[in-house]
Amino acid sequence: MKISYKWLRELIPFDMDVSQLADRLTYAGVEVEAVEELDGPSTPSTELGTGPLGDRPSTPLGASDWRLELEVTPNRPDCLSLLGIAREIRALCGGEIVQPDCLVSEAGADANSLAKIIVEDKEGCPRYVARVITGVKVAESPEWLRDKIESVGLRPINNVADVTNLVLYELGHPLHAFDLDRLADRTIVVRRAKAGEPLTTLDGVERKLSPEHLVIADAKRPVALAGIMGGADSEISGSTRNVLLESAYFDPRLIRRGGRALGLKSDASYRFERGADPLALERTADRAARLIAEVAGGQVAKGRIDVSARKFPESWQVELRPERAEKLLGIRIPVERMLEILRALEIGAIRTGDKITATVPSFRRDLEREVDLIEEIARVHGYDKLPDDHAPVWSVPARTRPKDQNLRAVSQAMAGLGFSEHYGLPMSDPERLQNLFPKSEPVRLANPMSSELSVLRPSLLPGLLEALAFNRNNGTADVRLFEAGLVYLGKGEQPPEEKPMLGAVAIGNSSPVSWDRNPRVYDFFDLKGDLESLMAALGLEAETSKADGGAPSWPYRGRAAAVVLGRRTIGYAGELDPGAAAALGIEGRACCLEVGLAPVLEAMEAGRGRYAGIPRHQAVRRDLAVSVAEGTDYGAVKSAIMEAGRPELESAELFDLYRGEQAGPGRKSLAIALRYRPADRPAADLQAAQAQQRIVVILGKRFGAEIR
């Protein structure tokens, strides 16, 4: 809501410049979002001081004005007017409000004989009050009125419409003026729209309505969307002679739903959906009728048409226990001060025993409970009076959960291996996913912002690869990123599974450029090494096996592997399939890793180990050089060795892989360092030799291995 500084001072004189006013309001809970300086009118108004308003401005026109943009919280519809803001200022700073003049001089026929109001939907419209003004002359508003309208950021339309807008801003209650002669049978019917019923609203848009919309109709057709926007057909125009002025109260929920369904908002709907004051109808109608008669001529017909299905209470009582306030706020506010604050807010307050009985006026519908009054007292008393020392400390401090400690260890280990942490968006583009996970059926958002962010990610890799490409496109050639985060797997009618994953991508050189090392492209074995180092840092050992049929399509078959922890495949590691890389616009060998974090964290938890002692004697090292057929996997050879070498064999490390003449055509030579740690020390050499012999035999049998 926008208000004018100058206009506000007409309602309550105060001694604050605009920035002091802005601070004061902000401190009291009405946030001033912007202050705009306004130019004075180009020519001094001749109507100055002789205008129809009894409460003429005390600030001379021609001086500059300021427009304040206020953010009023949804619980305070009473603040959506200059009068409401004036009430706040009075509560905060004192002073007297100059009440707008609502005295009407009536003449001629009774309004009830000039128009008829029928309220069919009494739930949607519990109160409808109307005034009739006859013989108006619709014209441009006088300058003082145009200035006021412009000072709150509106565009002047004509004298009748401008008055309704002025009263809306002044008193906060929305009004609507109909051209009475254009209402069929001079009748207003408040009802639900029929399905498909058309209405062209004031903004020129023809809208198809449905029964969820409350409309103001005449005897034949809808003429306005109740509480939201008028219709073009019954609009006040140059030819309008007789005006029906509507001052009604509509059900906030209905206005909210109706406006939302049409995507339509207005100054009126903004107030109705937050809850207008049902007891302000008469006063508002009178104020507007008075002003219309003054600026557009005409006569205000006798009496009001009042169709009220429901009686709203003028006020209600709430009890307040001062000691409860003290307990909740943590400071003592004297009861006298409490009474003073409540009274300044137009809340009747009397002390009855050790309680305060408060009488809340109808425009403060947000004050129903004791706690609501406590907030009012605290707010006006000032939150700056709350002490800020001695934070309450729970006697036992909390500590990081083991799970979180382990998760942090994973992240720190990844950073130690040179990967920087990425936070990817949890929403993803289903088309990009298709490329990497053709079989995935991601969880879809019902109302995405765009198709690029329309599903929840089933994997961290699309986001990581996007970041990889982003870095490459911005001149960073060596990219190493990881993310530890959730992915979302659809479970039909059950909530999606939110699964923690560890993902990583790397591309570029295997190590930083150096003056005495030739750069090497980071490839599968670098990634595998990083994975092994990660596991070692976490006290775990993961194996790799050939990517199986269940693998997604991103791993480049032959240069990617399944990651196995314990007996479970927990993910995949390897180079990105060249086809997928091309589709993502990535040049070079991009390496990717994605594993489930839960099994890793569980294994870390389980592996909080026991000390195994230091071996009492040294290991016996024997090297083994064998040649096997090119197609033989090292992994198979190694597991055969480990199996045959038991129990003496402790480890087997490949230290050379040779292909060439000496290995023979179609063969490769493996040089493996074997470490034996036989239990019996004197016989160690003999036992190691026997184990080595078993290994040689098995390798020969299984792989046709030749000892070299």
Partner 1 sequence: MEGKLAAIADAAKGAIAACGSLEALEEIRVRYLGRKGELTELLKSVSSLPPEKRAAFGAAANRAKQEVSALLESRKAGLSAESDARRRKADALDVTLPGRRAWVGRRHPLSQLMDEVIEIFHGLGFSVAEGPDCETEWNNFEALNTPRDHPSWNLQDTFYLEKPPNLLMRTHTSPVQIRVMESQKPPVRIIAPGRCYRRDAIDASHMPVFYQCEGLYVDRDASLADLKATLTYFARQLLGEDVKIRFRPHFFPFTEPSVEYDFSCVFCQGKGCRVCKQSGWLEISGAGMVDPNVFNKVGYDPEVYSGYAWGMGLERVAMLRYGIDDIRLFYQGDLRFLEQF
Q: Which of residues 210-249 bind partner 1 (CB under 8 A)?
A: none
Residue 36: CB minimum distance to partner 1, A: 15
Both tokens assigned to 378: 């605290």
Do residues 580 and 592 lie in contact, with contact meaning Cβ atoms separated by under 8 Å? Answer: no
Q: How far apart are CA 228 and CA 259, in angstroms?
A: 7
User: Least distance in Å: CB of 611 to partner 1?
Assistant: 30
In order, the DSSP letters of 616-663 are: SSPPEEEEEEEEEETT--HHHHHHHHHHHHTTTEEEEEEEEEE-SGGG
Q: Under the criterion CB under 8 A, does residue 518 sit at the interface with partner 1? A: no
| CA triple 169-171-172, angle to 5 deg | 65
Minimum distance from CB of 24 to partner 1 (Å)? 11
Residue from 252, 258, 259, 322 in contact with partner 1 (CB under 8 A): 252
Per rule CB under 8 A, is residue 418 in the interface with partner 1? yes
DSSP SS3 for 368: coil
- Give me the least distance between CB of 305 and partner 1, in Å please: 30
388 near partner 1, judged by CB under 8 A: yes
Take residue 35 and report the two structure tokens written for it: 């202050």
What letter does residue 369 receive in the DSSP assignment?
Answer: S
Judged by CB under 8 A, the chain residues 119 through 148 that form the site for partner 1 are none
Rule CB under 8 A: choose which of 139, 219, 371, 683 binds partner 1: 371
Among 82, 378, 628, 688, binds partner 1 (CB under 8 A): 378
Pairing of strands 299-302, 106-110: parallel
Segment near partner 1 (CB under 8 A); pick from 104-112, 194-202, 410-418, 585-593: 410-418
Secondary element (H or E) of residue 603: helix 597-606
Query: Is-contact 228 261, C-beta < 8 A?
Result: no
Collapsed DSSP state (helix, strand, coil) of residue 103: coil
User: x/- site string to partner 1, residues 465 to 484, per CB under 8 A?
Assistant: -xxx-xx--x-x-xxxxx--
Tell me which of 27, 312, 316, 658 binds partner 1, using CB under 8 A.
27
* Size of the chain, expressed as the number of residues it contains: 708
User: Is residue 393 involved in binding partner 1 (CB under 8 A)?
Assistant: yes
Q: Are 26 and 68 in contact (CB under 8 A)?
A: no
Report the SS3 class of residue 125: coil
Nearer to partner 1, 327 or 546 (CB): 327
* Residue 438 is a binding residue for partner 1 (CB under 8 A): no
Interface with partner 1, residue 198, by CB under 8 A: no
What mask of x and - would describe binding to partner 1 in positions 266 to 305, judged by CB under 8 A? -------xx-------------------------------
Q: Which is nearer to partner 1, 498 or 653 (CB)?
A: 498
Please report whether residue 702 would count as binding partner 1 according to CB under 8 A.
no
Q: Which of residues 612-651 bind partner 1 (CB under 8 A)?
A: none
Of positions 42, 50, 239, 494, contacts partner 1 by CB under 8 A? 494
Kindly tell me which of 45 and 509 has the beta carbon lying closer to partner 1.
Answer: 509
Per CB under 8 A, the segment of 162-170, 221-229, 364-372, 592-600 that binds partner 1 is 364-372
**Which distant-in-sequence residues (6+ apart) come within 8 Å of 284 by Cβ?**
167, 171, 173, 175, 247
Judge contact between 459 and 594, C-beta under 8 A: yes
As a dihedral over the C-alpha atoms of residue 184, residue 187, residue 188, residue 191, rounded to 10 degrees, the angle is -80
- Select from 190-198, 299-307, 463-471, 663-671 the region that touches partner 1 (CB under 8 A): 463-471
655 binds partner 1 (CB under 8 A): no
Other CB atoms within 10 Å distance of the CB of residue 421:
14
Tell me the window of 67-75, 299-307, 534-542, 610-618 that interacts with partner 1 (CB under 8 A).
67-75
CA dihedral 209, 214, 218, 220 (to 10 degrees): 40
